[in-house]
Structure formats: C-alpha cells, structure tokens
Chains A and B, each alone.
Chain A
Amino acid sequence: MSDDDLRSLINETLVRRHRRRGLSPDYPVLRGTAQNPDVFFQSREASNSFYRACPTIVQDVMDRFADRLGRSYRLFDYVGAPDADRVIVMMGSGCGAVEETIEHLHRCGEKVGLLKVRLFRPFAVDAFFSGIPKTVSSIAVLDRTKEPGSIGEPLYLDVIAAFHESCSLAQPLPRIIGGRYGLSSKEFTPAMAKSVFDELKKSAPKNHFTIGIQDDVTHTSLEYDPEFFTEHPDTVRAVLYGLGSDGTVGANKNSIKIIGKRPNTYAQGYFVYDSKKAGSVTVSHLRFGPRPIRSSYLISKANFVACHQFQFLERMNVLKTAEDGAIFLLNAPFSSAEAWNHLPKPMQENILRKRLNLYVIDAYKVARETGMGNRINTIMQTCFFAISGVLPREESIAAIKDAIRETYGKRGDAVVEKNFAAVDHTLEQLHKVSVPEQASSSLPILPSVPRQAPEFVRNVLGAMLAGQGDSLPVSAMPIDGTFLTGTSKWEKRNIAQEIPVWDEKLCIQCGKCVLVCPHAVIRAKVYDAARLAGAPPTFKSAKPQWRELESLRYTLQISPEDCTGCQLCVEICPVKSKSEAKHKAINMTPQEPLRKPESLNWDFFAALPDCDRGRLAHSHVKDVQLLEPLFEFSGARAGCGETPYIKLLTQLFGDRLLIANATGCSSIYGGNLPTTPYTVNQHGRGPAWSNSLFEDNAEFGLGMWLAADKRADYARILLARQASLLGDKFVQDLLTADQGSEAGIAAQRNRVLALKQRLASLDSPDAQNLAALADSLVRKSVWLVGGDGWAYDIGAGGLDHVLGSGANVNVLVLDTEVYSNTGGQMSKATPRAAVAKFAAGGKRTVKKDLALEAISYGSVYVARVAMGGNDTQTVKAFLEAEAYDGPSLIIAYSHCIAHGYDMAFGMQQQKAAVLSGYWPLMRYDPALRLQGKNPFQLDSRSPTMPLEKYAYQEARYSTLARSDPQTARELLALAQADVDRRWKVYSNYAESIETPNLADPEPVASAKDTSSRGETK
C-alpha cells in the first residue's frame, strides 16, 4: 500500500478541522475540566452521535479502500455456506484456521459458516445481522480472552445482547454458546474449530467452553481430534529446529522473502522461541505454496524437517511432526556414512517407519572451511533450497546469493565473498544417506529432567521442557500462580562447547571467578579432609589459602552441564602460569569429554557441606566465594552482566531475602517458566520473589516491606503480651536482639526456634498467632530489583516515592543503559553518543544521574558500583546498603549484549568504564554524617583513560563512528565533557560538600518508632 493509497482514504478537510481543534493560545479553549455531578452525566451523553456515526464511516472507508486496492472488507464479513445451520463468530487471526475448516467441511457436505468481526466497538447491530445467514440455528462465539467472574466474555455478551434486542418474540432465537480459545497465542487449529462446529450439532452443547486445552478440573474443555488435517497437499510445510545463535531464524526469514517474491507463490513463517536467552532453541514453521495460505497455526504434519543442531537429538523428538516420506535434513558432526550410527534408536525407528529421506551435512565443518566461523545459517539455507524442491535448484542458489548481497553488502565485500563460498561449498558436502533396513542404535532419547527430580518437576516442568506443555491439563497448574523455587538445577542444558577447568596447583583462591560467574556454575567450598573419602577419581582439592582454614581442603568446582561457556571467569582470572603464560588457573576445555566425570564431581561437590557463614568475612571477595549462592543456572545470556549482582545479593542475604522484581531481563531469567533460578539452602530458606508490573515495582516492593514490617510489629506485640508465659528475659532478648551481623541473625533464629517450641505447648489464640508469625522476628531484607528502563524511566515516579518514604527497603538497579529485554531501546540511562533504538543517530542528551537525584534527599544510602571496576567496593556497598536503616539505592553498571561486544570481556570493559571516569564509583552513606564524617565517598581515582578508549570498544558507540563519523566526533566530545563535568561535581562532593554537623536530624525520615526500626529489613 503506497502513501498515495493511504492518502486517498483521508479527508484533508477533516484533518485541517482536527488541527484547528488542537490547543493553541491563538484561539484558546480549555479542556479537562473537573465536572460536578450536576453535568458530568449529560456530558457523557453529548458524544453519543459520534459513536452512532462511526460504523457507517468505517464501512465507507472500507468501500473506498476496496475500490482503490481491490481488497474488500465489511464490518462483519461472512464466509461459508449461505444456508449454514451452524456459525462461529470471532475476530482476529484464528479466523484463518476456521475458514480452512469450513472449506474442508463444505466439501464433506456440512453447512457451516464464520462471521468475522472487523469492527468490534461500536458494535453495529444491523451490520451484524446482515452478515448472519437466516438459516442459522446455533452459534458459537469465540473470545480470545478470559473475564474471570463474568457470565461470559465480551464478544459473546455483545452477540447475546444483539439477538435479544433485535429478534422479535415470534422468531425463535438461535442457540448461542460462548467459548474461550487461544490465550497467550495458544494453538488454535482446524481440529479445534471442527470440534466447535461438532459441539453446535448437539442438542445441549456446552456453553462457556474452552477449546485447545484439557480442563480436567471444571471440565469446560471440548475434546478434539488432533489428527484432523485440512492443509492442501501441494503446500510445502517445513519445520526447522535451530539455536538462536546459529542464525536459523534469520535465514528462514530470508528464504520467505526469496520465495514470496516469486509470482503466484505464497509464503508464511512463524517462529517459536523458548524462554532462555542463552542457548535458546528456535523452531521455525514455514509454509510455501501456489495458493494463499490461511493456516494460522503451527505445522503438525511437515514434509520437510531440519535439525540444525545435532545435540538436540539427545533429548528432543524433532521428528514428531514429520509425515510419511518427508525429507529430513540433519546437521551432524559426522560424515554421511557415520551419521546413522550416532542417531538415538527411537529416531532411527522413526526414520524407517515413516520412510524419511535423510540428508546429512557437516555444516560446522563447511563453515570453518569457508571462513564463516560458527555461522551455519547460509549453509543450512542452501541445503533447504537444494533438497526441498520449493524452487528449481539453480534459481534458488542465484536467489540466495542475491539475498546475501542485499543482506551483507553494506557490511563489507569480504563477508559477502565468504557467504558465496559457503553456498558453493555446501552443495558439494550435502549427501543423501542410504539408511539400512533396521535400527541398530542403542542410544535412547534422554528424559528432559532426571528421574530423581521431584514429582512436580518431572511431570509438569519436565513436560514443558520437552515441548509438551500444551498437553498439560488444568489440574497440573497451581491455582494461584505459586511455583516452587530451586528448579533450574534439574534442567541440564549442556549448551557450552567449552567449559572452564580448574588448575588447583596454580590457583590462588581469590574467588574472582566465582564472583563474576553469571550462572553460578563455578563454586568454591572448604570442608573437612575426611569428606574426600569416596570422591570420584578426578575430583580435585587443594590446601585452603586461609590461615584459619588451613587444616581443611578447598575445591573449586564447575557444573559442566549448566555452564554457558561465556569465559568471563577465564578473563577475570589474575593468575598465569610461569612456564606457559597463556595457561591460567582456569582454562576453557571442550565440554563433551568432561561431561560425565565433571558431572560426577559436581554431584559429589554439591553434597559437601557449606562453610560456616560465621567464620567468613562477608566484606572480602575471597570469603564471599564460600557463601552459597541462592540464584543459579538462570536463562540469562552467556556472560550476562546483571546476574553476578543478583547472585551476590543471594550469597549475602539470600535466606532472608524478599525480592520485588520489575519486568525486564531480570524478571525473565528470574521467573520465566519452566524452571526458575532462585533456590533454597540446606534449611529450606531462600529468596521469595514476585513480579508485578514494569511500572509499579517500587510501590510493589514497598508493599512487601510494609507487610513484612507489619507482621514483625504484630509478632512483637504478641510477644510482649505473653512475656510472663514465655519468660520475661527470653522475650526481652527476642525484642532487643542485635541483628546487625550474621552471628546476631543466627542467634535470633535460634531464639525463634526456641520460641516455637515453647509456643507448641500453648493453645491460646495469641500463642497460635505468634507461632504463625514467629519467623518474622528474624530480620528480613527487602530488595526492589530492576533495570534502568524501570528505575530511570517507567518506574521513576514510584522509585522516587519509595526513596522519599524513608522506608527501610533496598533498591538494586541493574543499569545496562538500554531496555535490554526488548532489544536495546534508548532509556534515560543511555549515555550520550551511544546508538540505541530510538537513538539511531546517537543519543544527543546526557544520561540522567540517578545517584545525584537520590543523594539530594540526604537520607538515602546511594552507591554506584561496577563489579569489574572494583569488586571489593561492590561487596561493601551491598553490605552497607542492607545495614542502613532507611532506603538504599545501588546503581550497578551491568555490561550487556546490547552494548555490542563479546561479553567475555565484560568485566574488563567495566574496568575501562571506571578508569575513563565514565562510571565513577561512589558511596553516599547518610549514617556517616552522624559520625561527623562526609557521607560522600568517591571510591575511584581520577580518570586515567580518555572516554574514547573505553567507548570505542563497544559497537553501540563505534557503529556511529563508522556510519556518521562527523556526528560521532561531535557527540563523543560532548560525552567526554559530560565525564569531566561529572568528575568535578563528584570530586567537589567528596572533598567539601556537607559540613559534618552532629546536630543534623537523624537521616531517616521514617515515621516508625525506634524499637521497630531495623527489625524487618
């Protein structure tokens, strides 16, 4: 549709009138009045005529659109038998599946139809009835939504009302039932549509039904036959399995463009992603054919299946959708002669039973040989065209090359040439396998989670992991959205090609690798030497390099199947071998040969006891490595810069931690099903976590704190009331406990345990209530966690409210400086001169200084940290923030894939950010004021590196320098000036700002009394 087409639909006179109605001091008016009960009602009715006119206007535009472009729409479009007895009413993309079903049923002699709603509101009743055949006797209205507690969903209720208002008493109403389908893109297929039509045949059809799920609780669901199939046989139906990182989806989108450009050829693609950001699996569903494709659902019978990653075969049945005689293309690290022997037995049997045509290519070998690195997209795309028959081979190869030129041309000739070479080389390396007559393999397809996993993990989460989530019945789901934590450990993803291996002789046990590991796969323990009895043969240990722990043993262990292979640990390792400098204390090594022995080692290691927390100095990075993380194996990207901070949070305060998490990356890797990374310690305690919305997280967390605080308050009241029964001193100890240290908290836990025991023998309501609340007497730590999109932008107002409230909450801002979760859109945290979406020409304004904003209160603890810049300062800031009796804000520099460089170097880049002065490290501790000290502490030194040296390591800056050097130079100069100016401001604060004044009011503005302060954090 051209701009002229669009313009032809617009009445310019009306546009001019609209503009004239805009607010202007040249012809002033006032809108948005506060209206009193006398006139508000009338005002609402005054606009009725516009709603009444709207449908006619919309139809008029639709008609003009049809005249100009030949595509005709009505407010309600009817398709199907003119004399239909059964009709479905619905709107949106599901109509394609119903329409396809109607065509099929029509050929079988059934009289069915579909009324597609084009304009929902204002609901044009006349137009609705003009679309419905007079012959209809029963109607099913499908809504893609659920209105809990309502009689029915919105479209259903409108249709009911339309009939009741318009049909005369003499005329019998058709039977009308309503149903729900397709929530959150749940599959809606012709089989399901047929089931609805079949239901309409019944004398007492089920109303308020669901279709597409199995409701075994309230029995709303309709049965359907999954084998019902309506697709045309000449449609090419391809299902391709790949990794997000291997370019499969991009290549498939390209293929759709290539094929769709041909005359009289139709193409469709739909891409399914899993919920992981590292090693995510993608499934591409592609259809091509000579007639328009209305199949608005995933392919269930494919005549072409491709598996771009051989390791998928281990746990996944990729041939589930393959129909008899289909082509199966497999990327295997073997020759075509060897590949068969490496297939699992069920797959071999599947291939033989379905008489599949198996083609094999070693795409990674071709990629290496043609200089493509590990990008196999072009290679697998070439294979698809070569054997799918969707286009003549020569034509398709030429088309691929044209597409390569178009896609990569502007990224340099060399890239184009390499892709061309890959295309040519692929055709020589692609071979058809002549399969034997019998399956010979003994390899099984492994279960998605181990058999020793808890039942819920095995049966529910395991089904989701295996791609069988659609088949889970309603009864499998928790009724209130509450899920177990600690489930990510059951999902062994094996996505790393290489994993770190510890050299115990070289290691100085500094703990930096443990600290930076984003997925908590590197851990350290010290334990009694006697525990080594029965250790697996390759289990390593060393003498601990702590004077007070020297009698024990130390082990640094890697979980081989959970590692993502990011290499942050290797890059941060400060030790190099004196005889071979490239050899460090941990070194990347191929995973496959290590998988079994290191898994055994990991299991043995996991069973070792953790070090007594009381023996460790929690402010030392070296000691922090021995604190158990309660955040592990998340779906965050390999090398993620955010998760090390969250992991640290759980190491320090995990067993009394409440997290309110803003929507964003941290809510996805933190709480996306199937498995979740927050976990529990040996006592069953660990972080409790919830996510509400993007915009309300600060208030949401404040609510958590208020609830925890109120529980503790009430417990104290109950304690005081029962002091004589429980023992005055005992109660006094509980009420006045110093919980400022790990030891103090442990002591309080013991008191609470004793309290519960004493309460067990009391049966008064107060005693029972106190027993239920006793745990709240142990100090809780409430953290509001989110990214810069939340803290700087969308939730800024709420955050400000919470910081100003004086409440004893802690805020952790994972500052990646863009909206990372949605693909790098600019936020107010985006630095000047960086490119981001919505700032393609480089951001022109300076990054907001959230730290200074919070400091302006004078009563908020504020820290800017960068783990790679100074890990000790980071740990210190976390401890101080948590200990501070009032609001605390930590702004954590988090490197991110959206910065555009290999994240293995994330920590080095954080260091450069600090050295360049771009990210000055500071802490503002209002508590220091009471000690007569300056609360502002600048923790980094004067810049020693120009901003440019830091910035141009990252594509977010360097791409602008490439595409628009002049603007890049100007913006970088301004950005350098920003750095200089901020450094001056911070230096001034650190040197002189607040004259210490002991007479200052206490920094916390909390309205609470002293006795309750500090008890709920």
Chain B
Amino acid sequence: MDITTTYLGLPLRSPIVASASPMCDSIANIRRFEENGIGAVVLPSLFEEQLELEGQSVRADLSRGAESFPESLNYFPDLHNYNLGPDAYLELIHQAKEGVSIPVIASLNGISMGGWTRYARLIEQAGAAALELNIYDIVTDARHKGSRVEKDYCELVTEIKSGIHIPVAVKISRFFTAMANVAKQLDDAGADGLVLFNRFYQPDIDIDALEIVPSLTLSESSELRLRLHWVAILYENVCANMAVTGGVHTSRDVLKAMMAGAHVAMMTSAFFKNGIRHAKVVLHEMTQWMEEHEYESIRQMRGSMSRRAAPNPSAFDRANYLRVLSSYTLNPRRSTNDQISGTAETQ
C-alpha cells in the first residue's frame, strides 16, 4: 500500500503531519512523531511580537527602580545573556533537522515586514525544510478594508518568497468573504501551499470574575467539514498544495481530507487527547480501510471527492444548505435546539 504523498514539493512517507503546537517544541517529541509514522512536523510558531515583548519586559524588569536611589542603583545582577532573540527557536530547527529524517517545517508569525523577512531568512539558514506563514492577525480596526488585508497578505508572500529558497505555505483564516479568490491571489503571489484553516484563540468570559479568559479548546471532528468543503472547492483551482488542519482526528478524517484534494492532513488535538502513538493507530486504520476498499495509493484517491470530481458537486454549493435545512424541518422528532445547532454547523 502506497501511503506516501508530497507536500510543498517535499516527499512524505505518510499524509499525516503534526501541526504547529507546543508538542513539537522538543526534539524528544519530534523523534517520537517520527517513530510513529508521521510524514512531517511543523514546529510551533516563532512569534516576532513575543520576542519583542519579551525583550521589552526583560528591560523593564531589570531597569525598574534603577538609578533612583544612591544605595540601590539597580536591583539585579547582570546575567550577561537572556536568550531573547530567535536563537533558541533556530537551535530547535537545527536539532530537529539533525535528529530526524522527516521534513521539519518551521512556522513564523511576524508583525512587521522587516521582521517577517529577517526571521524567514534565519529559519532557512537554520535548516528548515519549508516555512509555514502563520498569518495570525485579527483586524479589529473597523476602517481597515478586507481588500487591503488581502493585498497585504499577498505582498507579504511575494516578499518572503523573493528572500528565501525553501517552499512557503500560508496558513490562513476562514474569515474571508471570497475565500476562493483569496486562495487564488495567494497562489498567484507564489504560495507553495495553503493550510486551511487557522484556529484562533477564542477568549471566553468568566461571568463570576467578570474577566476575559484566553482559552484554546481542542478541535473536534465536526470542524473538519468546513475544511473539506473548501479544499474540495479549491482543488485544481490553485496550484498550491493544500493541507487540512483543524478537526482531523481519525483515519476516516484523513481519508476524507485526501479525497477532498488535500496533500496532507494535519493533526494536533487528537495527539493531545490520545498521545503521539495515536499517529500509528490512525495510519494503521487508514491502511486497513484502503486495503479493504482496494485503493492502491493516497495519490489515487486525492481529489476524488473534490467539487470537480464528486458525483454530486452541487452538494458543495448553496443547495446543500437548503436540503439540510428542509430535512431538519421535515423531521418532527428533532427539537428546536437541535435544528439551530444543526443548521449552524452546516453553515
């Protein structure tokens, strides 16, 4: 059974990729991913903003109260090195490259054009096989137009591509009015891959303490459908390889992603829940299913259920919504709440 695939031009031994998460920030875990059959790992993101904030916070901590009172001109010994730059991250790339044979993909979240390009170059020099741009940006300014955001993203991709030689994937948000067009623009800008979709931290409200609580919940399989939907629509409309991320938990989820047209399926929440060994289980079940259904390879099934190839492509269009809605309405046993949640999920 051939379960190999390619992603961003890199040959992978399996279509499962460990997506960017704290699980991938130690060389020991990365080795375990490799041992359990993962095709590639994406390292957790290097956040330019975080580096900047850490620098500022160390400066503030060390200088607070300094040069104010003659007997205490400062309060801390100079420790000479505070490891504040990207060095630790670059060292992780280097160690991972040396320590495993699967491709190691770095991830970057910048806040300035200069930062994006500078860190991208450093990441390439450190030996990353590819770079995933984690465009984690919440546009809160009501005057900032969507077209401007899209233009900025594309310029960023062009700029970074011109500065490095390793392939570049772009991890994007699902919140675009014209997703297909945005994907096409990024494709034209030179993105080698599109990672669909970013899952944002969603702040929660603590109604007792009246505070906003940052939280990140683990994904669920139900989240997969939105990704499948857009991969299926974009398949063969963009040259970039596509990765599904968010909601991939089981072998069936991986197979769905492949059939929709993705080159890889990325997982994290399932590993948090079941441990890294879960990768081996998923691969085993996937292979078994393929054998049972007489598939020869992943390549064979890729895009087989895309919008272009599916027997009922209209299911990917608005008609789907209407049909589901009517089926709910016609079913007298469902409660009102079920209808609402079911409808919302389908949307």
Contacts and interface: CB of A to CB of B under 8 A. Distances in A.
Contacts of A908: none
A764 B80 CA distance: 75
B55 A280 contact: no
A247 B63 contact: yes
Interface in A819-861: 820-824, 835-840
> Which of the four size classes fits the interface of chain A?
35 or more
Contact of A822 (B51, B52, B72): B72
Interface stretch (B24-32, B33-41, B82-90, B292-300): B82-90
Contacts of A901: 61
A644 to B, nearest CB: 18
Contacts of A836: 76-77
Interface string A892-936: 000001101110000000000000000000000000000000000
Interface in B63-82: 63-82
Given A412-B85, A414-B51, A414-B55, A956 B76 contact: yes
A247 B66 CA distance: 8
Contact of B62 (A243, A245, A821, A959): A959
B76 A835 contact: yes
Contact of B55 (A250, A276, A412, A964): A412
Contacts of B74: 823-824
A411 B58 contact: yes
A900 B64 contact: yes
A962 B85 CA distance: 11
B77 A840 contact: yes
A791 interface: no
Given A412-B54, A576-B210, A822-B71, A897 B82 contact: no
A540 B151 CA distance: 55
B51 A824 contact: no
A273 B70 contact: yes
Contacts of A822: 71-72
Contact of B69 (A280, A413, A840, A955): A280
B209 to A, nearest CB: 9
B210 to A, nearest CB: 4
A721 B76 CA distance: 62
A959 B82 contact: yes
Given A900-B61, A956-B76, A411 B70 contact: no
B64 A897 contact: yes
A334 B34 CA distance: 63
A277 B74 CA distance: 12
Contact of B66 (A250, A839, A956): A250
A898 B75 contact: yes
A415 B83 contact: no
A955 B65 contact: no
Contact of B52 (A271, A414, A823): A414
Q: Of B51, B76, B78, B210, which is in contact with the most chain A CB atoms at under 10 Å from its CB?
A: B76
- Determine which residue in B64, B72, B73, B81 has the highest number of CB atoms from chain A within 10 A of its CB, and name it: B72
A204 interface: no
A791 B314 CA distance: 81
A581 interface: yes
B84 A411 contact: yes
A273 B55 contact: no
Of the candidates A282, A412, A898, the one having the most CB atoms from chain B within 10 angstroms of its own CB is A412
A249 B67 contact: yes
Nearest to A279: B68
A133 interface: no
A959 B73 CA distance: 19
Nearest to A963: B79
Interface string A656-687: 00000000000010000000000000000000
Interface in B198-224: 210-211
B59 A824 contact: no
A900 B51 contact: no
B84 A959 contact: no
A668 B76 CA distance: 20
Interface string A227-256: 000000000000000011101111000000
A512 interface: no
B336 interface: no
Central interface residue in B64, B67, B72, by most chain A CB within 10 Å = B67
Contact of B72 (A415, A823, A959): A823
A963 B81 contact: yes
A840 B65 CA distance: 19
B181 interface: no
A515 interface: no
A412 B51 CA distance: 7
Contact of B79 (A276, A823, A960): A960
B75 A900 contact: yes
A1008 interface: no
Contacts of B70: 271, 273
A411 B68 contact: no
Nearest to B118: A413
Given A823-B73, A837-B77, A900-B75, A410 B82 contact: yes
Contact of A840 (B63, B67, B72, B79): B79
Nearest to B56: A415
Nearest to B111: A414
A821 B55 contact: no
B55 A411 contact: yes
A921 B21 CA distance: 39
Q: Which of A410, A581, A818, A898 has the most CB of B within 10 A?
A: A410
A308 interface: no
Given A823-B72, A840-B77, A959-B76, A410 B61 contact: no
A394 B65 CA distance: 32
Contact of A897 (B52, B65, B80): B65
Nearest to B66: A250
Nearest to B67: A249
Contacts of B64: 897, 900, 902
A838 B75 CA distance: 12
B62 A412 contact: no
20 contacts: A244-B67, A245-B65, A249-B73, A250-B67, A273-B69, A277-B68, A410-B81, A412-B52, A668-B71, A821-B71, A824-B74, A837-B76, A840-B78, A902-B60, A955-B76, A958-B61, A959-B62, A959-B82, A962-B58, A963-B80
Interface of A: 243-245, 247-250, 271, 273, 276-277, 280, 282, 373, 408, 410-415, 576, 581, 637, 668, 818, 820-824, 835-840, 897-898, 900-902, 955-956, 958-960, 962-965
Given A273-B70, A897-B75, 11 more contacts: A247-B67, A277-B69, A411-B59, A413-B55, A581-B211, A822-B71, A836-B77, A840-B79, A897-B64, A902-B64, A962-B79
